[in-house]
Amino acid sequence: MSCSQNAGGGRTLEVVPNVKAAPCRLLRCSIWTRSFTLDFHNKRSRFRNLVYSNDNNCYNVLRMYRNTFDRLFSMLDEIGGLKPTKYMLVDEQVAMCLNILAHHAKNRVIQWNFGRSGSTISKYFNIVLKAIIRLNRVVLYKTPTAVPEDSTDQRWKWFKNCLRALDETQGSAADSRVLESALNRPRGFKVPAERYYLVDAGYSIAEGFLAPFRGQRYHLNEWREGRHPTNPRECFNMRHSAARNLIERCFEMLKNRWAILRSPLYYPVKTHNLIVIACCLLHNLIRRENARDPLHDEVENLVPEPTEEPVQDDPQ
C-alpha cells in the first residue's frame, strides 16, 4: 500500500500487490500437500503391516485370512456401496469395523491400531455395518433347507422335513417371549407348511416347533460314560439333543470369533441388531471362503456324540 498526491492536492491510497506473498502461499500449499501425502502413506504402511503382512496377523486382527478379506471388501465395494475417499480406502474402512467386532475393542484402541480419530472410527463403523447388511439375500444369506427323506446324516436322519434348530442366548426364561414376538410381527418369522424347527424345552409347544419330552433325560452330558436310553422317550430326547446341539456349536463359534457378542453392548438398539446380523453374515462368508477354519475344529470337539443302543417300546 502506498500514498500519493493527486492533481487537486489531495492524497489517495493505492494498493500495490505484495509480490513476496504469492510465493509464500505456494510454499505453504506445497508443504501441506507434501505433509498430507506423507501422512496418507504412513497410515497405509501401518495398515498394511497390521493386516497384509501375513495370514496369521490378518486372522488375529480380523478373524479371517487375507484372501477372505480381499473377497469381502471387494463385495462391499461392488455390492455394499462402500467407496474410497480422499483420506481412506475401502479395505481400511472394512478392517476397522472387523477389528471392533473381532475384539470388542474400544474406540481409543482402534485409534492406536489405525492412527485415526475417534469420530472417523465411529463414522466408518456404522457405514461398514450397513454395507455388510446389504449383502444379505444377495451373496451371504443361506436359505434353510429341509432334511430330505433319504438323509443319512447321523444327527438329522431322524427328523424328516426339519429345517434344523432354533435357540436363543439369553436363557430359557426368555425363549418363548422372543419367539412369540418374532411370530406376531407383520413381517415376522414364518415357518413353511409341513416344516418345523427343533427347539428346547424353554419354548412353548406350537405348530412348526418340536420340543423334547419333559421329565426325561435330555442334555448330552447325561448320556456320557456309557449311559444309554432306557425307553423310547429318552431315545427321542437323546437324538433331539444331539441334533439341536448343532445350534449350540454355532453360537459357540460366533462368540469365539466375534468378541463383541460375548459381553453387553452399549450401542443403540438398531446398531445392536445390525451387529448381530453382520456377525452372522460374516460367519457364513468365512465358512464358505476359508479353506481352513481353526474355530470349527475347536468347537467340533467340544462335546462328543452320544452312542445308542436299542431300547424297548415304551410300556405306556
pLDDT in tens, 20-29: 444 545 444 4
Greatest mean pLDDT among 104-108, 181-185, 199-203: 104-108
Is the model's pLDDT at 50 over the cut of 70? yes
Q: Where are the domains of the chain?
A: 37-141+260-316
Answer whether residue 315 shows pLDDT above 50: no
Q: Contact 132/160 with Cβ under 8 angstroms?
A: no
pLDDT at 102: 96
Question: Is the pLDDT reported for residue 146 higher than 50?
Answer: yes
Of 6-10, 95-99, 107-111, 195-199, the range with the lowest mean pLDDT is: 6-10
Average pLDDT of the chain is 81
Residue environment code for 157-185, b if the CB has 16+ CB neighbours within 10 A, otherwise e: ebbeebbbbbbbeeeeeebbebbeeeeee
* Residue 307, pLDDT score: 52
Specify which residues 209 forms β-bridges with.
197, 206
- pLDDT of 222: 76
Nearest to 282 by CA among 72, 21, 8: 72
> Tell me, what's the pLDDT at 308?
53
**Residue 128 in contact with residue 93, Cβ under 8 Å?**
yes
Residues forming beta bridges with residue 196, ordered by sequence position: 162
Question: Regarding predicted confidence, which is higher, 226 or 146?
Answer: 146
